[in-house]
Structure 1
Amino acid sequence: MSRPQCSRCLRPLTHCLCPLIPSLDSRTRVLLLQHPSEVNHALNTARLAALGLMNAHLVVGEVFEDLPALLNVPGYRARLLFPAEDAQPLQAYTPSDEPLLLVVPDGTWRKARKLLHLNPLLAALPRVTLAEGAVSRYRLRKAPGPGALSTVEAIVQALQALETPTSFEPLLRPFEALIEGQIAAMGDEVFQKNHGPG
């Protein structure tokens, strides 16, 4: 028998994160393209980001038939947040800059690359990247490499780079509560054994 679930954050009602989810405005529009395997993931950080940003849109799928329409948002320049040798580091807007439509694939690195492979229009977008050296707060899994962040962390870092001095840190509150809840559920001993410094 499944536990009653919050229809907004999709967490069990006893662990609803909605009171922690902010409602932040941003000059940047964020388009999250989520691989279907992430939808029921316990730490669905793309959903948290979409709920906490007024100018964000979450679409779930593998092949996005309506991608041309999703990318053609008047007044925005579409950029893919994904590493590449020619990716441009994100920099703060100048007053005259047209804001970005920041396209963020959500999934494991393998699944995110698959989304690009299945959607050539997505793969063809100019790419942007985050500053090097970011450290994830996601203490429940080993990062695949330096600078590997969860989706919500990457979005926060991107928006802070683009829209400084505005702070998007409140977006991380439900994410951190989620992690604390997972650690509490597994118990400190299990957490230290599996995820502690080692």
Structure 2
Amino acid sequence: MSRPRCERCLRAQDHCLCPLIPHLQSRTRVVVLQHPSERLHALNTARLATLGLVNAELRVGEVFADLDQLLATPGYRPVLLFPGEQAQALVGYAQEGCELPFMLIVPDGTWRKARKLLYLNPLLGELPRVTLGQVLPSRYRLRKAPEAGALSTLEAVVQGLNVLEAPGCFDQLLRPFEALIEGQIRAMGRETFERNHGGR
């Protein structure tokens, strides 16, 4: 019999992260498009990101039929947070000198599944692409990054918002993520963690 889950954070109720999730305002609209296979992943960082931001939403699926309506939301410039040859490094709104904030579209899934989302939703491929300039090291100590600079979805959102809305800081969003990581380390045992992950 499975343990009862919190309906909000989807964690087992005795490991609910809701008390650690902040309630932060942002100029930037954050929309995470999550591949269905990620929804019940033990470390569902995309959900934590959107729960902690007032101006954010999480959409789960492979094909998003109303994407054209979403991208036409008044008051925002839609951009895709995804690497590519034409991708521009994010800079702060104060530096950019533009009054209209971004709608930051963030695909959530493995690189392969994120690319599939772009393939199945051609409108995403037409958006201007943005990336993080200087990437801070990932705090995702339980997983070996597939390449240098790889981040969880939550970390990418936090770093992007910290750049765009400087001097504002969105690091509070990382609190439930860090508690989640620590809980997993405790469950496996510190010694096993040190042996398998080198204490990263």
Match of 1:171 among 166, 170, 173: 173
| Over 4 Å off, 4+ runs | none
With the length of structure 1 as denominator, give the TM-score of the two structures: 0.97
Farther off after superposition, 129-138 or 140-149: 129-138
Report SS of the residue matched to 1:73: coil
1:85 shift after superposition: 1.2
| Equivalent residue, structure 2, for 1:103 | 105
Unaligned runs of 5+ in 1: none
Q: Report the Cα distance in structure 2 between the residues aligned to 1:154 and 1:165, rounded to whole angstroms.
A: 17
| Equivalent residue, structure 2, for 1:193 | 195
Q: Report the Cα distance in structure 2 between the residues aligned to 1:197 and 1:13, rounded to whole angstroms.
A: 28
| Equivalent residue, structure 1, for 2:150 | 148
Report SS of the residue matched to 2:31: strand
Q: Which amino acid in 1 is paired with 2:72?
A: N
Measured against aligned partners, the alpha-carbon deviations of 1:40-61 in whole angstroms (never above 9, x if no partner) come to 0000000000100000011000
With the length of structure 2 as denominator, give the TM-score of the two structures: 0.96
Report SS of the residue matched to 1:59: strand
Report SS of the residue matched to 1:136: coil
Q: Which amino acid in 1 is paired with 2:126?
A: A
Report SS of the residue matched to 2:193: helix
Report SS of the residue matched to 1:30: strand
1:132 shift after superposition: 3.3
Q: Report the Cα distance in structure 1 between the residues aligned to 2:72 and 2:184, rounded to whole angstroms.
A: 39
The 8 Å contact of residues 193 and 199 in structure 2, kept in 1 or not, is answered as no
1:197 shift after superposition: 5.1
The 8 Å contact of residues 133 and 146 in structure 1, kept in 2 or not, is answered as no
Count of aligned pairs: 198
| Equivalent residue, structure 2, for 1:90 | 90
Q: Percent identical across equivalent pairs?
A: 69
| Equivalent residue, structure 2, for 1:116 | 118
Query: CA-atom RMSD, angstroms?
Result: 1.1
